Amino acid sequence: MAENHAEARLRSTARTAFDAGQGLLRLAPTWVPRSFLQPGRRLKLHPNDLYALGLNRGGIDERWFGSTTEAANDNKAPDEGLSWVVHEKHRFLLRDVVAEIGSEIVGQDIWKKYGKWPVYSKFFDNMGPIPHHMHQSDAQAKLVGLEGKPEAYYFPPQHNNVGNNFPYTFMGLEPGTTRDDVRRCISNWNKGDNKITALSRAYELELATGWLIPPSILHAPGSLCTYEPQWGSDVFAMYQNLVEGREVPRQLLVKDMPANKHDDIDFIVDQLDWNGNVDPNFKSNHFLRPVIDTQDDAHCDKWIVYGRIEGAQLFSAKELTVKPGANVTIKDRGANSIIVVQGTGRINSMRLHCPKLIRFGEMTEDEVFVADPAARAGVRYENTSETEDLVVLRYFGPEVNPQAPNL
């Protein structure tokens, strides 16, 4: 009976917040640490709070947006990675709101197929490069009861005033690389640097561009702060054992592989999409330049993430710029989650403000989830500054934008 009462109270509070915002839900910042990485200090999190969850948990180098996906961290908090909706004095998980209100939040097609909000995005911010790794496909992740994770990158200039230690990303493998080459790297895990990046190619990262990365493709993200729309999963396998002199625990290679395969090097190598990794046209098949969708004297709306993976549009994203003193009404085809990266203004009657510095646990006015009906009806973005652009990034769920460009 108590559980039913709690569910009824949640449903009532969620409905009140939904109705009060006319389909707009204010979200609190969601911070995620990684124990094996060094924060890049460009998330606007106060320097004193980089290790707010404890030195043993690692530095906070990620902020997740519109997330109903838990982070796959050891010793994590129960809500780690999950977004909280804030309305007046109430706080409740976006995941619970979606479960209660369903299709009114995410849209009928997404709710019918997935029964949840199946994607999320984040800022990923590190001082240096991270290990050459891949994210499993659905079929591979299913072996351990999880989902695969395709993802995409965009490098917002507003969060990259400095490039930090290594603004280059190794991607894929050089054409001509053999399975035996990779097999030797895995076999030599405990013999010093396994030199797997010697089999790869590093691309210099360009601000205001991006990449589309399917599952099972090796990549070693460089040190730009990255906006990353992706599938709602946190699976990965690290194939590089030493980065900037720091050891990568072998457990991070096999954590999302069946336990009986942890020492099966052939299985580990075969997890890679071989043709995709040695593709001689890798850049032209994965590199994303912004594509203008709509533009006038008041605004510019660009596609920043687009393309299909095995024929499916799993997510997409846009960058909206509203000129000083201007306003524009934007109609989208489905729910989206927004983050303000520059300026001050309003979305309908809800205030938007890009903070300069955020304390851990502090509320902000830069993140909003736009439910499906509100997105379709159109939301009004207003820039209340007389001097500075209002810039908003927003990402969408699967198959919401069939009209988006393709690679």
User: What CA–CA distances, in Å, run from 176 to 33, 142, 179, 185?
Assistant: 37, 30, 10, 16
Total domain count, the chain: 2
Strands 24-26 and 226-227, by their bridges, are: unpaired
d(CA 293, CA 312): 21
**Is residue 376 included in any domain, yes or no?**
yes
Q: Which residues pair with 101 in a beta bridge?
A: none
Q: Identify the pLDDT of residue 1.
A: 45
Domain with 54, as residue range(s), is 29-86+116-288
Residues in the chain: 407
d(CA 247, CA 231): 28
pLDDT tens for 82-112 read 999 999 989 999 999 999 999 999 999 999 9
Q: Identify the pLDDT of residue 2.
A: 52
Asked if 281 and 314 sit in the same domain, the reply is no
Asked if 170 and 58 sit in the same domain, the reply is yes
Longest dimension (CA), the chain: 64
Give the domain-ending residue among 268, 288, 308: 288
CATH number at residue 386: 2.60.120.10
CB 254 within 8 A of CB 200: no
Q: Identify the pLDDT of residue 251.
A: 96
Asked if 367 and 249 sit in the same domain, the reply is no
Per-residue pLDDT of the chain (407 residues; tens, 9 = 90+): 455 777 778 878 888 889 999 999 999 999 999 988 899 999 999 999 999 999 999 999 999 999 999 998 888 999 999 999 999 989 999 999 999 999 999 999 999 999 999 999 999 999 999 999 999 999 999 999 999 999 999 999 999 999 999 999 999 999 999 999 999 999 999 999 999 999 999 999 999 999 999 999 999 999 999 999 999 999 999 999 999 999 999 999 999 999 999 999 999 999 999 999 999 999 999 999 999 999 999 999 999 999 999 999 999 999 999 999 999 999 999 999 999 999 999 999 999 999 999 999 999 999 999 999 999 999 999 999 999 999 999 999 999 999 999 98
Asked if 247 and 374 sit in the same domain, the reply is no
**Is residue 15 included in any domain, yes or no?**
no
**Is residue 173 included in any domain, yes or no?**
yes
**Is residue 108 included in any domain, yes or no?**
no
User: What CA–CA distances, in Å, run from 98 to 245, 310, 334?
Assistant: 43, 28, 14
Kind and range of the H or E run holding 106: helix 103-106
Asked if 280 and 310 sit in the same domain, the reply is no
CB 121 within 8 A of CB 95: no
**Is residue 324 included in any domain, yes or no?**
yes
Q: Identify the pLDDT of residue 7.
A: 76
Asked if 248 and 367 sit in the same domain, the reply is no
Asked if 184 and 314 sit in the same domain, the reply is no
Under DSSP, is residue 309 helix (H, G, I), strand (E, B) or coil? Answer: strand
Neighbours of 1 (CB within 10 A): 5
Give the domain-ending residue among 256, 288, 320: 288
Under DSSP, is residue 276 helix (H, G, I), strand (E, B) or coil? Answer: helix
Asked if 271 and 172 sit in the same domain, the reply is yes
Q: Name the token pair of 153.
A: 């990158």
Asked if 336 and 313 sit in the same domain, the reply is yes
d(CA 341, CA 95): 24
**Is residue 138 included in any domain, yes or no?**
yes
Asked if 301 and 248 sit in the same domain, the reply is no
- DSSP one-letter code for 110: H
**Is residue 227 included in any domain, yes or no?**
yes
**Is residue 104 included in any domain, yes or no?**
no
Q: Identify the pLDDT of residue 14.
A: 85
Asked if 46 and 155 sit in the same domain, the reply is yes
Under DSSP, is residue 381 helix (H, G, I), strand (E, B) or coil? Answer: strand
d(CA 152, CA 211): 6
- The CA-to-CA distance between both ends of the chain, in Å, stands at 53
pTM of the model: 0.96
d(CA 118, CA 138): 13
Q: Name the token pair of 110.
A: 């997404």
Strand stretches in 125-207, DSSP E? 133-134, 151-154, 168-171, 201-204
CB 123 within 8 A of CB 43: yes
For 201, list phi and psi in degrees, rounded to 5: -135, 130
CB 232 within 8 A of CB 116: yes
Q: Percent of the chain beyond pLDDT 70?
A: 99
CB 156 within 8 A of CB 225: yes
d(CA 66, CA 84): 9
Under DSSP, is residue 138 helix (H, G, I), strand (E, B) or coil? Answer: helix
**Helix, strand, coil percentages, rounded to 5, for the chain:** 25, 30, 45
Of 148, 182, 188, nearest to 277 by C-alpha is 182
Q: Identify the pLDDT of residue 10.
A: 80
**Spatial strand order in the sheet of 299-305:** 24-26, 367-370, 336-342, 390-396, 316-322, 299-305, 291-295
Give the domain-ending residue among 288, 323, 339: 288
Asked if 278 and 322 sit in the same domain, the reply is no
